[in-house]
Structure 1
Amino acid sequence: MTFKPQHQAPTDAAERRAIKPVVVYPNGTLPEPDFATLAEFKASMKKVNEVIVPPRDARTFHVPKGYFFRIVSVDGPQVGDLNLWNANDLKERFFSGKTRALHRTHLTTGDRLWSNMPYLRSMALISEDTLDWYGFDEDGGSVHDVIGTRCDPFTNRLLSGNDYHHCCHSNLCRAFRDETGMSMQEADHYVHDVLNVFMCTGFTKDTHQYFMKASPVRPGDYLEMFAEIDLLGNLSTCPGGDCSTGHSSDEAACYPLKVEIYETDPALQDKWDWPAPSAYQHP
């Protein structure tokens, strides 16, 4: 028999549970993006490059500061796992946990993707989301989450005893290796928790477990971001396809994703308040 202690509730248990929650970072804590200037940048957009990410694979891409990039559904419902780094300093990378705390569990237009400490600055601003209509469904699910990590071969081996080499972590590592010349073992330390693009997720209401369900994404949908620093991006097409049944296998129908890169009018650069690394210094 498994030993699992269960303690008796104290006499004031109901009183303790009734204490009202406090939002840690209330709306309005962060400065609002300059949407008027952002609209000027968007009006000047010109597509200069695109990258196709094959099914069950990953590709890297570069986005200069002041450019836009779009992750686009092309052939069928497919989710993607996104990593971002400072293209000039790979120690600075996307920090999904702090992004979740500063914004919410699922991101949409107006939310920012923040970098790790000690930098802690905005890397990219979500400028358009064609799935913003979805909101939260009756199961508590929504899209573009920063609560899941990424499917990975280590957890897969832990749970199943089997090795699978096209988990998103593996895909991202291979693409990062090809970009940087590092070994797969070195890449393990740079690939990080992701923005789950197009993925529909939440927590069950009874057991509070992380769940996924069929993504509502359809060909032509996209998530667009404005680069606030020079970015190296890395996108994996999840082996779970639309994540309606499972992941980390070859069973699901999978489709490519497209990354489109857009330049903007350089004359607008002086109108944007570009984020600097945190000025905090240890005493």
Structure 2
Amino acid sequence: MKLDTPENTAPDDAANRKSIAPVICYPPETLPPVPLDLYRAARATAQKVDEVLIPARDAKCFSVPAGQFFRISSVEGPQVGDLNLWSANDVRERFYSGKTRALHGTHVSTGDRLWTSFPHMRPMATITADTLDWYGFDAFGGSVHDVIGTRCDPYTNNLLSGGQYHHCCHSNLTRALAEHLGRSCDEVESHVHDVLNVFMCTGFTRDTGQYFMKASPVRPGDYLEFFAEIDLLGGLSACPGGDCSSEHSSDTAACYPLLVEVFAPEEGSLPGWVSPQRNGYDQSHGV
């Protein structure tokens, strides 16, 4: 916890040091371009081929072949979801929230991509539609669809409250992945990773820099839609915090299901598109 007042006196040139303009670490101009027009034309021909309803306070897995679309929708009430993505061919290749954040910012929307972990580091999904893109950033610095939070988990809950709560998103995703792969929770838990917080409204306080959440603006009918760049296995948890207006990891918040739908475009509607190859770095690490 930060001290209320600093222990050290500011130097004479403190104002000059603090006034230096920031530099963007990873300028996005050199990233591979996103062919949104191509994706949207293909989406216009797509037909629904699968759907999975995620129960409140629980999680389920779903599959999306490369070149198809998937949509996460609010269907009954304001509800946020914790999304994990893996390569369907190797769960060791998974969504890398930290690098996605570094490349695109703390919150993502249409045209941003979700990137995979090292050594693959390639686009795994591209956001193609977001009905909450109107929200932007509010007066508190909050926005939706963050890649800054981790996921509510039973370990932090135990640390802070001493309880044994089993429907945190981490546990939900662990159970769902174990069921999908036919393995034990102990075997798969290490593959559950930091999430995209779908529909969650979050930010950092201006005074202490603490992570905050507030009531999500999501309403039934809102959705976030993605194009699968590689064969995907997804896991989605309907967070026990509901709209995260007051708390998470509890049985008291009003919670609702989320719907995942998968859409396959017509054959030939993605001319020239190829699934991205793994990163071109040779992995020699200077040896």
Do they fold alike, i.e. is TM over 0.5?
A: yes
Aligned to 1:260: 261
Once the two structures are TM-superposed, the CA of residue 18 in structure 1 deviates from its matched residue by: 1.6
| Kept after mapping to 2: 8 A contact 1:37/1:271 | no
Structure 1 runs (4+) greater than 3 angstroms displaced = none
Taking the aligned partners of 1:163 and 1:134, their CA distance within structure 2 comes to 36
Aligned to 2:151: 150
Structure 2 unpaired stretches of 5+: none
Once the two structures are TM-superposed, the CA of residue 156 in structure 1 deviates from its matched residue by: 0.4
Once the two structures are TM-superposed, the CA of residue 29 in structure 1 deviates from its matched residue by: 2.7
Taking the aligned partners of 1:99 and 1:143, their CA distance within structure 2 comes to 15
Aligned to 1:107: 108
Note the 1:237-252 alignment, pairs <5 A. Answer: 237-252=238-253
Once the two structures are TM-superposed, the CA of residue 269 in structure 1 deviates from its matched residue by: 4.3
Aligned to 2:205: 204
Taking the aligned partners of 2:166 and 2:209, their CA distance within structure 1 comes to 29
Taking the aligned partners of 2:280 and 2:53, their CA distance within structure 1 comes to 38
Deviations 1:188-233 (A, max 9, x none): 2000000000000001111111100000000011000000000000
| Kept after mapping to 1: 8 A contact 2:28/2:103 | no
Taking the aligned partners of 1:270 and 1:88, their CA distance within structure 2 comes to 24
What is the root-mean-square deviation in Å for CA atoms of aligned residues?
A: 1.5
Q: Structure 2: which amino acid aligns with 1:106?
A: H
TM-score scaled by structure 1? 0.96
Deviations 1:93-135 (A, max 9, x none): 0000000000011100000000001000000000000001111
Taking the aligned partners of 2:224 and 2:39, their CA distance within structure 1 comes to 16
Deviations 1:34-93 (A, max 9, x none): 122112211111001110000000000000000000001000000000000000111100
Note the 1:84-103 alignment, pairs <5 A. Answer: 84-103=85-104
Deviations 1:12-34 (A, max 9, x none): 22222121110112242312211
| Kept after mapping to 1: 8 A contact 2:96/2:117 | yes
Q: Structure 1: which amino acid aligns with 2:217?
A: P
Aligned to 2:237: 236
Aligned to 2:227: 226
Once the two structures are TM-superposed, the CA of residue 6 in structure 1 deviates from its matched residue by: 2.4
Question: The residue matched to 2:190 in structure 1 has which SS?
Answer: coil
Taking the aligned partners of 1:91 and 1:266, their CA distance within structure 2 comes to 30
Question: The residue matched to 1:169 in structure 2 has which SS?
Answer: helix
Aligned to 1:217: 218
Taking the aligned partners of 1:222 and 1:282, their CA distance within structure 2 comes to 38
| Kept after mapping to 1: 8 A contact 2:39/2:270 | no
Aligned to 1:191: 192
| Kept after mapping to 2: 8 A contact 1:78/1:237 | yes
Once the two structures are TM-superposed, the CA of residue 266 in structure 1 deviates from its matched residue by: 2.5
Deviates more, 1:26-35 or 1:159-168: 26-35
Deviations 1:142-191 (A, max 9, x none): 00000000000000001111110000000000000001122212222000
Once the two structures are TM-superposed, the CA of residue 5 in structure 1 deviates from its matched residue by: 8.3
Note the 1:22-41 alignment, pairs <5 A. Answer: 22-41=23-42
Question: The residue matched to 1:28 in structure 2 has which SS?
Answer: helix
| Kept after mapping to 1: 8 A contact 2:125/2:229 | yes
Note the 1:12-31 alignment, pairs <5 A. Answer: 12-31=13-32
Deviates more, 1:200-209 or 1:6-15: 6-15
Aligned to 1:45: 46
Structure 1 unpaired stretches of 5+: none
Aligned residues: 281
Taking the aligned partners of 2:211 and 2:255, their CA distance within structure 1 comes to 22
TM-score scaled by structure 2? 0.95
1:177 and 2:193 correspond: no
Question: The residue matched to 1:248 in structure 2 has which SS?
Answer: coil
